[in-house]
Amino acid sequence: MNKSIALTIVSAVAIVALIFLALSINKHKVEQQAMNALALNSLADIKKFESRSSEWGKYYPRQYDTYRQTRQSDKIEDVLKKDPALPTMWAGYGFSKDYNGPRGHYYMVEDNINSLRTGAPVDDKTGPMPTACWTCKSADVPRYMNEKSELDFFTGKWARLGDEIVNPVGCADCHDNETMALTITRPYLIRAMDNEGSLPYADATYQDKRSLVCAQCHSEYYFKPTEWTDPEGNEQVAKVVTFPWDNGFTVEAMETYYDDREFKDWTHKISKTPMLKAQHPGYEIYMTGAHGLNNVACVDCHMPYMREGGVKYSSHNVASPLDNMANSCMNCHRGTEKELRETVERKLERKNELNAMATSVISRAHLEAGKAWELGATEDEMAEILTDIRHAQWRWDYSIASHGSFFHAPEETLRILGSAINKGQDARLKLRIVLAKYDAADYVVPDFSTKEKAQKLAGLPYEKLVDDKMKFQNGLRKEWVESGKQKGLYDPKAWENIEFKTSYSK
């Protein structure tokens, strides 16, 4: 009798264990089949330019889930607070109002709307910014360009498209809906590549595209005024996002490009300099570094391949590769994670050191130039100085505005920072002569050691900007959401669990 019971127990244990094993095996097999099927593109049924990423996620759950994990990057880092030289350097320009470190792709539309830079429009014709500010924020942009036209998209004020641009950057920005092939959805990148000439778009390989889809947004640009006639026959001026690549990819080539066109983003409020704002030239700087020169694509490190059971897929949680070194760096590099991490940290320290020097020099140059004007300096006396300040700040901005330039191309970043400091010091040297001429050789710049003091020096009505913004948040913005929902554009999954986080909310 005891024998029978023992045998039964042993068998039962074996059965339970085997069932678990069988379940595990079957699960892996299902994954494998699903992956093979997707590789053959037999399942997906997604509309062209579908801007709701959750629709793509039905067929590509792993890619979609990892894309949604970009919301883990949710810290607001007030960069103006960290370096109060910045509001002085951007006096008279939007960036002196509000400038935060980047958050994950998940928050792009949210952060664009929340920024004090986009202002507080009360209807579709007010506000400081043009529609171009949406260009890189949303998968609705290629959809809208396709429905209307590129020039239509780039026409008018930012607020005009508040109920059209409702979902953050997502699947449709980089993928073809049928084949999932990488695709360029922003025509201005194709024009820029063809104008520059070293890699016409038609010659781009698959590996090139694994960086180019990112370059659609992570590049230097300006808004080029372009006249056109709309379908109703009205003359319009579009502000078209344009990459200044005609003379090449270097900081000097782009500086010449802007100088030749006498282009300025704004006139500096204190120094009266015709300024340039560099906008994250990530792709251009990456190309000059070790990884870029070896044709390691953005995606190789920022979207590494992952394993899940029998399934291999690329992570769409675009973030720093240092968060996931095993799947990115360690595929190619020998040595340990710790060694590599320390190497990267040293690179960052070096950049921070020169960056602090540059902002200190350039912010002081602005204030000293302001003083020179105040004392009655002439345009002739100031002309060369202003050119130096323009070039110094452009170079400084160019070298640090993109994510991880210190890592992508440390030599190039430090070289540009060096030239920025040099130009800034040139300006200050010349300024001392002018100041001496007007009996102010011992002039000391006023205190701008905090964000508040610096913004006050820049003449910024901060409290009013915040008040107006909150009125906008509770007014027009709510109307946009309602209208976007009625149009059937709004993807609720793209807005789950978003907490209101800004540098100005109390």
Assign 311 to helix, strand or coil.
strand
Closer of 31 and 74 to other proteins (Cβ): 31
Binding site for other proteins (CB under 8 A): 1, 3-5, 7-8, 11-12, 14-15, 18-19, 21-22, 24-26, 28-29, 31-33, 35-37, 39-40, 300, 304-312, 326-328, 330-332
Which one, of 251, 203, 192, lies nearest residue 413 by Cα? Answer: 251
SS3 266: strand
Task: Give the number of C-alpha atoms closer than 13 A to the C-alpha of residue 269, restricted to the C-beta side.
Answer: 17
305 or 356, CB closer to other proteins?
Answer: 305
Rounded-to-integer distance, Cα 444 and Cα 139, Å: 49
| Minimum distance from residue 486 beta carbon to other proteins (Å) | 41
Write the DSSP symbol of residue 163: T
Amino acid sitting at position 371: K
Q: How far is the CB of 213 from other proteins (least distance, A)?
A: 14
Tokens of 113: 């709307």
Q: Is the Cβ of residue 123 or residue 308 nearer to other proteins in the bound state?
A: 308
- When the beta carbons of 60 and 490 are compared against other proteins, the nearer one is 60
Phi, psi of 40 (to 5 degrees): -95, 10
For the CA atoms of 323, 284, 154, 226, what is the dihedral angle to 10 degrees? Answer: 170
Q: Which residues lie closer than 8 Å to 81 by C-beta, 6 or more apart?
A: 450, 451, 503
Query: How near is the Cβ of 13 to other proteins at its closest, in Å?
Result: 9
Buried b (16+ CB within 10 A) or exposed e, 375-409: eebeeebbeebbbbbbbbbbbbbbbbbbbbbbbbb
Nearer to other proteins, 31 or 468 (CB): 31
- Closest approach, Cβ 8 to other proteins, in A, equals 5
Other C-beta atoms within 10 Å of 331: how many?
12
- Compute the least distance from the CB of residue 231 to other proteins, in Å: 43
Our CB check for other proteins shows the closer of 28 and 501 to be 28
Q: Name which of 25 and 444 has its Cβ closer to other proteins.
A: 25
